Amino acid sequence: MEEGAQPPQAAAGKMPARDVRRKLKLGGALAAVIVAAVVAGLVISGTWPGPRITVGAGVTSEVADQTKSDFPDDQAAYLRALHENDPSAASGKVTGNSLQELEQQIADNRTRGVRQRIAVNATSTEILAEGDPNDAGVTVEVHQVGTEHQDTLGLSGEVPASSQDFLFDNRYWLRQVGGRYAITDIQKAAVPVESTGPWPWLLLVLGVAFVLVMLAALALRFSKLGTRGAVAAPSVSGDARAMPGPSEAPLAWIGPGDMTGATLGVRTIGGFQLWWQGEDLAPAILSRRTTGFLGVRLLVAAIENPAAQLARDDAREELFPRVDPKSQQGRLRQLIQEFKALPPVLRDRMVVSRLVLSFDLEGCAVDAMEILKLGRELRAGAVVDPTRLAYALSVLESVSGRFLPGWKDALEKATDVDSPATEMVEELCQRIDIARADILVAIGDDLMRRHEPDPAIEVFQDALRLRGEREDIAARLGSALLSAGRQGEAERVSRDYS
> What confidence tens digit (pLDDT) does each residue in 169-190 have?
889 999 999 899 999 999 887 7
Round the average pLDDT of the chain to a whole number and report it. 77
> Starting at the edge strand that comes first in sequence, how are the strands of the sheet with 264-267 ordered?
279-280, 273-276, 264-267, 364-366
- Residue 3 belongs to some domain of the structure: no
Higher pLDDT, 447 or 23: 447
At 337, the pLDDT band (50, 70, 90 cuts) reads confident
Shared domain check, 384 and 257: yes
In contact, 241 and 3? CB cutoff 8 Å: yes
In contact, 129 and 141? CB cutoff 8 Å: yes
Shared domain check, 204 and 113: no
- Residue 149 belongs to some domain of the structure: yes
Shared domain check, 309 and 187: no
For residue 67, give the nearest of 54, 86, 79, 77 by alpha carbon. 54
pTM, rounded to two decimals: 0.50
Shared domain check, 106 and 177: yes
Shared domain check, 170 and 205: no
Q: At what angle do helices 386-398 and 421-449 cross, to 10 degrees?
A: 140
Higher pLDDT, 179 or 415: 179
Shared domain check, 347 and 283: yes
- Residue 481 belongs to some domain of the structure: no
- Residue 120 belongs to some domain of the structure: yes
Shared domain check, 409 and 262: yes
Segment of 25-39, 48-62, 235-249 carrying the highest mean pLDDT: 48-62
For 90-123, write each residue's pLDDT tens digit: 999 999 989 999 999 998 888 888 999 999 988 8
Shared domain check, 65 and 111: yes
In contact, 371 and 267? CB cutoff 8 Å: no
- Residue 310 belongs to some domain of the structure: yes
Residue 494: per-residue pLDDT:
87
Residue 106: per-residue pLDDT:
92
Residue numbers of the domain that contains 401: 249-450
Residue 321: per-residue pLDDT:
83
Q: How many domains does the chain have?
A: 3
- Residue 82 belongs to some domain of the structure: yes
Residue 212: per-residue pLDDT:
57
Shared domain check, 129 and 192: yes
Residue 381: per-residue pLDDT:
54
- Residue 234 belongs to some domain of the structure: no
Residue 214: per-residue pLDDT:
55
- Residue 168 belongs to some domain of the structure: yes
Q: Residue 42, Cα to own-chain centre: how many angstroms?
A: 35
3-state helix/strand/coil string of the chain: CCCCCCCCCCCCCCCCCHHHHHHHHHHHHHHHHHHHHHHHHHHHHCCCCCCCEEECCCCCHHHHHHHHHHHHHHHHHHHHHHHHCCHHHHCCCECHHHHHHHHHHHHHHHHHCEEEEEEEEEEEEEEEECCECCECCCCEEEEEEEEEEEEEEECCCCCCCEEEEEEEEEEEEEEEECCEEEEEEEECCEEEECCCCCCHHHHHHHHHHHHHHHHHHHHHHHHHHCCCCCCCCCCCCHHHHCCCCCCCCCCCCCCCCCCCCCCEEEECECCCEEEECCEECHHHHHCCHHHHHHHHHHHHHHHHCCCCCEEHHHHHHHHCCCCCHHHHHHHHHHHHHHHCCCCHHHHCCEEECCCEEEECCCCEEEHHHHHHHHHHHCCCCCCCCHHHHHHHHHHHHHCCCCECCCHHHHHHHHCCCCCCHHHHHHHHHHHHHHHHHHHHHHHHHHHHHCCCHHHHHHHHHHHHHHCCCCHHHHHHHHHHHHHCCCHHHHHHHHHHCC
Residue 426: per-residue pLDDT:
93
Cis (ω within 30 of 0) for the bond into 283? no
Shared domain check, 396 and 279: yes
| pLDDT, average across residues 259-271 | 76
Does 264 score more than 90 pLDDT?
no
CATH number of the domain within which 59 lies: 3.10.450.50
In contact, 122 and 146? CB cutoff 8 Å: yes
For residue 424, give the nearest of 306, 268, 305, 321 by alpha carbon. 305
Shared domain check, 136 and 105: yes
Question: How many Cα atoms sit within 13 Å of 257 on the Cβ side?
Answer: 16
For 372-392, write each residue's pLDDT tens digit: 999 988 875 556 778 888 888
Shared domain check, 329 and 343: yes
For residue 177, give the nearest of 92, 273, 57, 118 by alpha carbon. 92
